[in-house]
Amino acid sequence: MSDQRFVHPYRVTYRDCTLGNHVYYANYLGILEAARGEFFRQLGAPLLQWQEAGLMFPVVEARLQYLAPARYDDLLNTEVWLTRVERVRFTFGYQVTNHRRTRILRAETGHACLSLEEKLKRLPESLVAALQSHLRAGD
């Protein structure tokens, strides 16, 4: 287990919000996707590189717990870590906070490693090693 942290900043846009000026619940999935993409880029292998190598990591499970509303122009920080790394699956944990450090969201997404033909594949050892440095228990 590690305490290595990755945090991705995100500014809430007008497009993200409802008429009531809070982020629409489904839009958090896009915020998590952006953070996850930057997480892979920081590992040194962007998702496009894995795709060019014939692999993809679709979301096969998602759990979101909404704790407080985020509003237009809030600066959010999405902390990303791994909670599980297995042979063909891995699970991300997330915590989203605003600039006042209020917890907005806790979430998990489960991913499978697939070929571009949608067949299960074993995670590459190089990826497993990189992910291990971000493995920790959830909050």
Residue 73 lies in a domain: yes
Output the six-digit token pair for 120: 């299960």
Q: Is the pTM of this model over 0.85?
A: yes
Output the six-digit token pair for 136: 């920790």
Residue 139 lies in a domain: no
Residue 84 lies in a domain: yes
- Average pLDDT of the chain is 95
Closest CA to 57 of 38, 73, 36: 36
Q: If you search the block for the tokens 């791994």, which residue do you land on?
A: 82
Low-confidence stretches of the chain (pLDDT < 50) are 1
Closest CA to 94 of 73, 66, 119, 128: 66
Looking up residue 72, the CATH number of its domain turns out to be 3.10.129.10
Residue 98 lies in a domain: yes
Residue 1 lies in a domain: no
pLDDT at residue 133, rounded to an integer: 87
Domain count, the chain: 1
Residue 95 lies in a domain: yes
pLDDT at residue 138, rounded to an integer: 54
